[in-house]
Copies of this chain bind each other. A is one copy, B any other.
């Protein structure tokens, strides 16, 4: 079922006219007709059944809200050291959205090769937000992850969280296997989890020391070396497996 976001639209009215971009997609790309079914996510972050009642302009009547909740029980922020290539942030945002991230932050890490000035950051974030919105529709989310850019690790550590983890390959190399499962096992529904990842060259010892001093737990993600864009996807799948499938 096709899904669109109208997050500035409060729930309540029985009938809605779709915004231009959704209307174009529904009518021209999906070739909807009067009577076609779709789903709309409104400002209350719930998905509603909807039925097309006219095409010009594209108007729908709203049905009941869907009872299923596609969101992870904890709000996960991925904080990723800025990768070298354009493709990696895009992959992290697209796949991270599918796998349930609530917020995705890129920060300039000591070993980051790329740098975004404010003009470049605005352009990059606009494109990443579009990718997040598309992936959120396709994966049937009710939240579009926020995408942000922070100048350094200190700014990341100022963000509020109930649990903070850093994926550290030295942790994995030392054969540490229990920390991730222990921390995920302590989470309650509604908690905010922040997970921090290095760029291609990894985190520096100084950055890891800065994080452990701030109470961030180093965790291993198994014995294989994961690329910078793969580790966040492993983390999100582990959160889902632990909190949705094992505990579900």
Query: Number of A interface residues, CB 8 Å?
Result: 37
Judge if A162 is at the interface, Cβ distance under 8 Å: no
Q: Are A234 and B99 in contact (CB under 8 A)?
A: yes
Judge if A141 is at the interface, Cβ distance under 8 Å: yes
Cα separation A95 to B27 with both chains bound (whole Å): 36
Q: What are the residues of chain B within 8 A of A194 when measuring CB–CB?
A: none
Judge if A12 is at the interface, Cβ distance under 8 Å: no
Q: Are B237 and A241 in contact (CB under 8 A)?
A: yes
Q: Is the interface of A mostly helix, strand, loop or mixed?
A: loop
Q: Are B100 and A230 in contact (CB under 8 A)?
A: no
Q: Are B244 and A241 in contact (CB under 8 A)?
A: no
User: Given A178-B245, A245-B180, A227 and B69 touching (CB < 8 A)?
Assistant: no
Residues 229-246 (chain A) with a chain B CB within 8 angstroms: 230, 233-234, 237-238, 240-242, 244-246
